[in-house]
Amino acid sequence: MKKISLIVALMSCISASAFINPDTTARSIFEKGLDQIRLQKARHLFMTYDYQGALAIYEALHLYNQSNPILNYRIGECNFAMRAYETSIYYFDKAQRTAEDVHRELHLNYGKALHRMGELDRAMEQFEKFKPKLTDKAKDEYLWDEVNQMIEQINTAKQMMANPVNVTIKNLGDVINSKYDDHGPSVSKDGKLLVFTSRRPETKGGRIDPYDNKYLEDIYVATWNEKEKKWDKAEQAKGRLNTEDHDGCLSLSPNGEEIYVYKNEGDAGSGSGDIYVSRMSSSGKWGTPKELGKTINTTYFESSASITEDENKLFFISERKDGLGSGDIWMVEKISRKEWGEAKNLGDVINTSADERMVFVHPDGNTLFFSSNGRNTMGGYDIFMSKFENGQWAKPTNLGYPINTVNDEINFTLTYDNKRAYTSAFKYSGLGEIDIYEIDLSKHKIVEPRELPKIEMITVTGTIYTTDSAGVSGCKIELIENATGNLIKEKITDNNGQYSFIVEKGKVYRFIAKKAGFITTESAEIKTKDIEGKELVKNMILKQ
């Protein structure tokens, strides 16, 4: 019975499959029926974002149907989705030459591929050919909006490419980048520590995301080699930062001691993607990321986060309700040492009805950089800047070409002296699909250049002991500035009970050591003004 049903199904495909195989003498009726089933499977794979799987089927069918317009269109469609724009142009053109009406959106997608390759005039021609196909404005409202947006982007791109800003952009090479996705760079304010996300085979657990068939994300760290004036080779972040799930770097705190992390842990989180923070321990390893709390994380998607230098304001992206678009920029202010206030939307001066994807607040606390596809972009997402002046955010400005291009620019981070920026982008000259780039801003003042303040620092180290002289592991050490009463930093002692702080010399600090199970909380005051040298040792004892 099952065999009869299969034959009937295949026979019903024969008339429909005739278009896929004009060379009827080369293949049997049974094989042509299978071709139609393969086509349906390929379409299903494409619609579920398995572009590589769909492309493999289309290419197999294409071997004996190389002039078939629908196959050429579908292969072009897959390559466009995989950012192989040059290849997609070849197949879209081949489909158009054979049958211009093979698919209603051929001219739209052909134009988008040409746009991504910077062939703006040819792209405009395709968009103009597409517009007459939209005969029902009510029914085709979405496509009308899309093609008009594409035309606006081309006009913006032409204008900006005719007036480039004076910057130099270079790929950071294979000490940072790989042949896989490397993205989301964030740099400490002194420019000595670079943190980013990568999707390499070495990912912890070695798992592949079924959504896009790429390795899961891990966080990598690189340090600046001052002697050789170059970055040391990036390594996976040490400690408990990376897990067997997605672990993405959102930003590095200005002092380089905290990393804001994107995680989606299902039942352990909101199930839609949340923001966590990991702190560096005294041993130089990153601690287990902790969720930021309910005023920041919701049941909606949260991503991208950036904190001011004084750690009192956090800017982040959320798709929560009551926003203006898909993703909006929100801000929270700290109301206690461990608690954030209610989130505030930055309003329609910053946010649009489209999508904001990344936010970075400069260490000065008054300059905001973010990516958006809802403004005057050259193509997709561009990076914009706004300054907080006279109690409000100024109208955002596009950072211009070549910082922005006809492709998506989503990530941006800037050093304290405003001389170097880092971004991640897709470029044909790159090592992988997405690479990390350095932007030399020495000849282009995005923000007025300034020097790092020359503040003398001192390292305070010590060991927390029991009365039996054993080191106390897992002991919390709080560092409080006496003058303000503010909690400056927190550390957890390592397995030997040791801790380490780097503090500004000349101030008075109070150190508090405490751990559950001990009857005392030890406190010590340290005056750093008259200390000679670069290091001070302070040990403390806890009583059980």
The ranges assigned to domains in the chain are: 2-161, 168-440, 457-542
Strand runs labelled E in 415-455: 420-425, 435-440
Inter-residue contact 154 to 115 (CB < 8 Å): yes
pLDDT at res. 1: 43
How far apart CA 407 and CA 115 sit, in angstroms, is 9
* pTM summary value: 0.82
Burial pattern 160-175, b for ≥16 Cβ within 10 A else e, equals: bbeeebebeeebbeee
Report the alpha-carbon distance of residue 134 to residue 144 in Å, rounded.
Answer: 7
Percent of the chain with pLDDT over 90: 63
Contacts 24+ apart (CB under 8 A), 130-138: 130/105, 133/104, 133/107
Q: Identify the band that residue 454 occupies on the pLDDT scale cut at 50, 70 and 90.
A: low
Q: Which residues pair with 220 in a beta bridge?
A: 196, 236
Average the pLDDT over each of 151-155, 459-463, 500-504 and give the range with the smallest value: 500-504
Structure tokens at 140: 């085709």
Please choose, from the candidates 281, 301, 295, 369, the residue with its C-alpha nearest in 3D space to the C-alpha of residue 334.
295
pLDDT at 149 over 70: yes
Mean pLDDT of 502-511: 85
The span from the CA of 267 to the CA of 306, in Å, is 25
Under CATH, what is the fold of the domain 168-440? Answer: Neuraminidase (2.120.10)
Q: Is the pLDDT of residue 103 over 70?
A: yes
CA atoms within 13 A on the CB side of 201: 1
User: Average pLDDT of 75-101?
Assistant: 96
**Spatial distance between the Cα atoms of 347 and 391, rounded to a whole number of angstroms:** 13
Q: For the chain, report the end-to-end CA distance as a whole number of angstroms.
A: 78
CATH superfamily of 2-161: Tetratricopeptide repeat domain (1.25.40.10)
CATH code for 457-542? 2.60.40.10
Least confident interval from 44-58, 192-206, 268-282: 268-282
* CA distances (Å), origin 325, targets 221, 289, 300: 33, 29, 13
Name residue 249's amino acid.
C
Encode pLDDT of 231-282 as tens digits: 999 999 999 999 999 999 999 998 888 999 998 764 333 457 899 999 887 6
The confidence score (pLDDT) of residue 193 equals 94
| Per-residue confidence (pLDDT) for residue 118, from 0 to 100 | 96
Structure tokens at 344: 């505030």
**Lowest mean per-residue pLDDT among 24-33, 63-72, 100-109, 463-472:** 24-33
Mean pLDDT of 302-306: 94
